[in-house]
Homo-oligomer: A and B are copies of this chain.
Amino acid sequence: MTQINRLSKTPLYHQLYEILNGKIRHGEWKPGDMIPPESKLSEEFEVSRVTVRQVLDMLANEGFILRERGRGTFVTQPKVEQALMRIVSFTEDMNQRGILPGTRALETRLIPAPADIASELQVQPGEELALIVRLRLGDGEPMSLEESYLLHKTCPGILEQDIVSTPMRRLLDREYGIRWLRARQVIRAIPAPRHLARILGIQPNASLLFIERVSYSTTNTPTEFLRLYHRGDRYALYNELKG
């Protein structure tokens, strides 16, 4: 989509947001680039300047662009703060930290949903889940362990796919049309259980930054439950607060 459809029911600003956001995501506009001025965008897409500004304000609020009076509007460098704002892949996250990402799949199988996870996913206990456990490496050393529990009925047969080399997001989108709308998460500090300590190469009871996350697909349905065990000595989260 690179054109605005005035007959569509989706608002113009929504369509324009998708277009401009896409240009940034797909690298047509790269970090540091100046994007066309409001007046040009207004002409090109045949919408009022107010509507263009509405979209640019959204993109600026989300940190994708930086607006400078008198100079122009520029695409920003992605920051590590993103990890607490958006659902970013491990690969993106490591790139933003300047660390070389790596992955090893440890386990993939179907399981009946335990009560706690079923409750988070709003399904019955025993519902079939696809469990995918992956060890994440940073610069070749263990960084995190990821346990992903996917509602199997929404992505049947996913364990037969090429999970190792295809990014999970691409796989879910391409094969099942699943994209993430939003997620809720809880962040804790816990001591490493013995088996995780061994896998992560740390002492038992060393501290882990532990995140539990429920991700909602575009239909606003809880679809994935995720447990992230980050090594406390290697992984930190960053963010900015308002006053």
A positions within 8 Å CB-CB of B: 61-62, 84-87, 179-191, 205-210, 213, 218, 230, 232, 236-243
CB-CB under 8 A from A206, the residues of chain B are 191
**B residues less than 8 Å from A210 (CB atoms):** 189
CB-CB under 8 A from A185, the residues of chain B are 238-241
Known: A62-B242, A207-B207, A243-B179. A237 touches B187 (CB 8 A): yes
Interface SS of A by simple majority:
strand
How many copies altogether? 2
CB of A241 within 8 A of CB of B207, answer no
Q: Which residue of B lies closest to A230 (CB)?
A: B189
Q: Are B184 and A209 in contact (CB under 8 A)?
A: no
Return the contact of A243 from the options B84, B86, B190 (Cβ within 8 A). Answer: B86
In the complex with contacts A238-B185, A242-B86, A207-B179 CB distance below 8 A: no
Cα of A187 to Cα of B209 in the assembled complex, Å? 9
Known interface pairs A182-B243, A188-B237; 9 further A-B residue pairs with C-beta atoms within 8 A, sorted by A's residue number: A85-B242, A182-B242, A187-B209, A187-B238, A188-B232, A189-B208, A190-B207, A191-B191, A207-B232
